[in-house]
Structure 1
Amino acid sequence: MIFKTKRLTIRLLKKEDLPSFYRLQNSQKVMKYTGSMPQHLAECTTDLKDLITKYSKTNNNFWVWAIENENNIFIGTCAIIFNDKKEWEIGYRFIEDFWGVGYGTEITQGLIEYAFGHLQLKQLKAYVDKRNVGSVKILEKLFNYKSTYWNNKDNCWDMVFEICNI
């Protein structure tokens, strides 16, 4: 286990997660605002293996974990990564059946606490397609809005949020 929140357990991904990971990554609705297309089973198999392999790499700075609910069901993934802009960034994805019950806010709070408390990070960023209204609302509550810019790669307006550990 990496950390827990009131209703969620965050743990390392494992190969047995493939059916649920595929359900997450293959969903048009889940992937709509990620800048990626839904993945086929072969892509999910490769990605899951790659993410698991990263756990054992020295100086790994790309952490993607499984999220389980209170019934020990895989419901999504969350991440703390060192992005291409040399910033620590958080993110999460949930299987559509688990939207709208407050898990997004809960996992964001958990990621903040883990990043600042356990990892001793000083700053976190979050990037979100401004059309992703649910995630925008969560970030507006928990982070500070910094800017909006046109993301050529993903062909959307991205909002940038930041929080600092003082």
Structure 2
Amino acid sequence: MEIEPIETERLILKALEKDDAERLFLLDKNAEVMRYVGVEPISDIAETRKNIEIIQNQYRENGIGRFAVIEKECGQLIGWSGLKLITEPINNRTGFYDLGYRFLPEFWGKGYATESAKAWLNFGFGKMGLDEIFAHAHSENSSSIHTLEKLGFKKTDEFMEHDGLCYWYELKNNLEK
């Protein structure tokens, strides 16, 4: 399934491409952005290019993956968001769709995570017909927790990652079927 770009009021969500590596590297190398991700910031753009290839492979294999978020006003990639089919265990679970997002710090606090996430929830529940979407956040990441709760996600579990306590969230499809 090829996914067309999704437009919101202020954003364009599009499949990641090789040309996005430079802007994506700004995210990947930023210690503030990576603080609650559980991995160290990267120092070589080649790792970002490899990550883009992995995500493009997820598009082919699973029909979904994280997308570039382009702010319409500036025309630049400001982060990524999207649904991902989780195939490696998180909180002892696999085979579920996870909502995720990550933005450059200068775009924090502007509602872009919420705006892009709403588009992905509509896509997942509407176009994909999912019954449930999951998410998780580090217990100290109050901004992400606030966003998930504002979107209607319910905290249903806690689990430990190597970098600390994480909260597990679930959102059931409430669209008419």
Q: Same fold by TM (over 0.5)? A: yes
Residue 143 (structure 1) aligns with = 152
2:40 aligned partner, one-letter code: M
Alpha-carbon contact 1:143-1:161 (below 8 Å) kept: no
Q: Secondary structure at the match of 2:116?
A: helix
Q: Secondary structure at the match of 1:34?
A: coil
Q: Secondary structure at the match of 1:146?
A: strand
Cα distance in 1 for partners of 2:42, 2:64 equals 20
Residue among 142, 152, 172 paired with 1:133: 142
Q: RMSD of the TM alignment (CA)?
A: 1.6
Count residues with an aligned counterpart: 163
Correspondence 1:45 to 2:54: no
Cα distance in 1 for partners of 2:144, 2:132 equals 19
Question: 1:148 deviation in Å?
Answer: 4.1
Could you tell me which runs of 5 or more consecutive residues in structure 2 were left unpaired when the two chains were aligned.
none
Cα distance in 1 for partners of 2:162, 2:118 equals 26
**Structure 1 stretches of at least 4 aligned residues deviating more than 4 Å after TM superposition:** none
Correspondence 1:28 to 2:28: no
- Percent sequence identity over aligned pairs: 26
1:104 aligned partner, one-letter code: A
Cα distance in 2 for partners of 1:121, 1:82 equals 12
Correspondence 1:97 to 2:106: yes
Cα distance in 1 for partners of 2:159, 2:67 equals 29
Cα distance in 1 for partners of 2:159, 2:164 equals 6
Residue 154 (structure 1) aligns with = 162
1:120 aligned partner, one-letter code: G
Correspondence 1:75 to 2:83: no
Question: 1:62 deviation in Å?
Answer: 5.2
Q: Secondary structure at the match of 1:137?
A: helix
* Cα deviation digits, residues 51-82 of structure 1 (max 9, x gap): 22333x2x415511100011321001112112
Cα distance in 2 for partners of 1:132, 1:106 equals 18
TM-score between both structures, scaled by the size of structure 1: 0.90
2:163 aligned partner, one-letter code: N
Residue 121 (structure 1) aligns with = 130
Structure 1 residues 12-21 or 35-44, which shifts more? 35-44
